[in-house]
Amino acid sequence: MNLLKHALLLTAGIGFIFSPATCKEHREKVVTMETLLEEMVSVEELSRFPAPCYTCHQESSYDRRSVSPGDPAWFANDDGFGIVRVDTTGGRIEKVMFDQTGPGVITRIWITTLDKRGTWRFYFDGSAEPGWIIPAYDLMRINIPSLGPGLLQPHTSYEPEGKGGNTLFLPIPYAKGCKITFEDELGVNPTPKYYGINYRKYPENTAIETFSAEVVKRAEKKIAGVDNLLLNPVPSKNGKVISDTKVLAAADSLTLELPAGENAVYEIRLSVNLQDSAGFGQLMREIIFCAQFDGKQTVWAPLSDYSGGGMGAPYVKSWYLSSDGKGNIVSRWLMPYQKSGILKLMNISSASIGVKMEANVSPLAWDGRSLYFHCSWRQETGIPVHKYDEPENCTEWNFATIEGKGVYMGDLLSLFNHAPRWYGEGDEKIWVDGDTFPSHFGTGTEDYYNSSWAPVVPFHTPFGGAPRADLDSSHGYNAFFRTRNLDGIPFREKFKFDIEMIGWQRGYSDYATTIYWYGDFNARAIGTSGIEEAARKLVPVPEDPANYKIPESIEFEALKPTRKSTSLRLEKQNAADSWDGKWSGAAHLLAPNGKAGDFVEFEFDNLKDGKYKMVVYATQANDYGTISFSVNNSPANISFDGYSSNIKHSKPINLGNFSPVMQKRLN
């Protein structure tokens, strides 16, 4: 137990259930931490229809007013307070976030909040005592030494003592059930607790070993090994390498015919030599990657999008896909086939382009669980984006629809945001087979992509990231990318993925979605796009509003205060030019959580002797208060009312003329 001292408490109980199989795909084997970790990095197993035949679901903090399509509350957006119920246990008030009975596995936990103080408790197999305790709303406090950044990732906004969250991919199996609760720390004003928990539900007869301290200790090396492999992927087999090089004229193609028989492509390396670097993004869009297996085309996507980068073909680093952002791409999606396979690069541009394709192919037996690899692409321009506080006007956009049998394994959202403010407030809603309510109902676009708090910054993890984020305001080009290992979603008849088109203001966006999935021979994606959309000219990159500067200004958001009230939280906030006015550097300093009498103090160094005219440029909004100023420890006799019915730039606030003084701490 010393391994998990202080930050992690685990009971030692191990539960098993053995009974005759009732599912035709079921095989008599025990699901353990080790088997799950092996599955996580087995491209062969991840490409097959699952056995035991589990289903995948998600519990989240979505707004519980969302009950049915067609009702205005279907687009309710208060996503930080949704829970299953509240329990009183041993005098504690515990908010129940997850409560499932029967055998299952948690495959992903995503969380974020403003204030992490409190206690997570995990109850396994109906026990009244928690088997796992985390002393904060922070998975970074789990304290499993072998767990690294491959399986546990802080979000780009993460602050250990402040806001921000993280995502955990370590599988948590349970034999009879699992309940997860959170208790706010006494005396702390509760803040929204956002979460998304993906899990598998297995048939009742499935034998599963429950998560415990002994299991974690036993699996230490396996956890560390998988974590390292996720960060440093390599082909699981080195087979026959087939390659070809060609200069593609307009409408020309490079084709690789694969060895006949039961085989699989384990890795593909693609290189594009573009003489015109200025047109790189457009030309990478106009090279189409195609694949045909056993006589059926299953892959068709612009190379820029297939790579996981999207418009502009930026840098990508993940478990399945890598790209250097210069035209060199590595694909590690397994592509099995029974009899024949063809890979193709097709040039739909008017330029001549040098390309090279290399495929690593090895024998792989085909059986009743085998599936074909699919990659489908669709694009639509001018999609309306609605404001988050107008749910009666909101709409959904169909991200993907698949008919047939298969497993959904991930996606890329590449877009141009025509509005100069955040576009991604909308939740994902995934319907599988006969769902009467989405089995996956999310809390926001960035949350689905393993980040939080509307980040506009590139990041990369084994499970995807944000390959492109041009402007702090989110205006212009953006891309989010997510692939699934243990959290892949099996479907037998139909898979439907809708996303709410909700942002911080009205506008519109151009969306291009690339989906990666496995399916049987008859499975097909609905509503895909073709050459006409791939050849559509990319929109010019907009001017960066951060380039606007007030002459001789000092940016408060870039300064560290010398003192402040304890309750104040300081943060840099994007000030998009959709507001009324322009902000120097397109940002301002925000100081939330303030109360009457609070203060913040700054010092300006390296000033020469003489008098300086001091002018403050501020922001006004409907939740801002009244502030006063002091300079050199003396009141400036100016009071500023920060209230305005809309967000706008204030008029210049002239504090007067002042001379520098010897540094003296203000009281």
The answer to whether 165 touches 112, Cβ cutoff 8 Å, is yes
CA pair distance 370, 293, nearest whole angstrom: 13
Sign of the alpha-carbon dihedral angle for 420, 422, 424, 426: negative
pLDDT of residue 455: 93
Read off the tokens for 532: 């006409």
Whether residue 576 lies inside any domain: the answer is: yes
Q: Where are the beta strands (DSSP E) in 294-340?
A: 296-302, 316-317, 321-323, 328-331, 335-337
Give the pairing of strands 30-31 and 207-208: parallel
Q: Are residues 242 and 227 in the same domain?
A: no
pLDDT of residue 554: 87
Q: Are residues 483 and 560 in the same domain?
A: no
pLDDT of residue 19: 33
Domains in the chain, number: 4
Q: Are residues 271 and 328 in the same domain?
A: yes
pLDDT of residue 4: 34
Question: Taking the mean position of all CA atoms in its chain, how far away is CA 527?
Answer: 24
Q: What is the pTM of this model?
A: 0.86
Read off the tokens for 432: 């599988």
Q: Are residues 225 and 245 in the same domain?
A: no
Q: Are residues 161 and 276 in the same domain?
A: no
Could you give the angle at the alpha carbon of 341 between the alpha carbons of 340 and 342, nearest 5°? 140
Q: Are residues 84 and 226 in the same domain?
A: yes
Contact partners, residue 336, CB within 8 Å, separation at least 6 = 47, 262, 263, 264, 293, 364, 366, 370, 371, 372, 373
Domain boundaries, position 168: 2-231
pLDDT along the chain (667 residues), means of 10: 33 32 54 98 97 95 95 92 95 96 98 97 97 96 94 96 96 98 93 97 96 95 98 91 97 98 98 82 97 98 98 98 97 98 97 96 98 98 94 93 98 96 96 97 98 96 97 94 98 98 95 98 98 96 82 85 86 69 82 85 82 87 87 84 84 85 59
Whether residue 436 lies inside any domain: the answer is: yes
Q: Are residues 61 and 185 in the same domain?
A: yes
User: Whose CA is closest to 448, among 67, 60, 170, 105?
Assistant: 60
Whether residue 664 lies inside any domain: the answer is: no
Facing residues of 384 across strands? 508
Cα dihedral angle (356, 362, 368, 372), rounded to 10 degrees? -10
**Boundary (domain end) residue, out of 341, 370, 399:** 370
Dihedrals phi, psi of 499, to nearest 5 degrees: -130, 135
Whether residue 520 lies inside any domain: the answer is: no
Facing residues of 267 across strands? 360
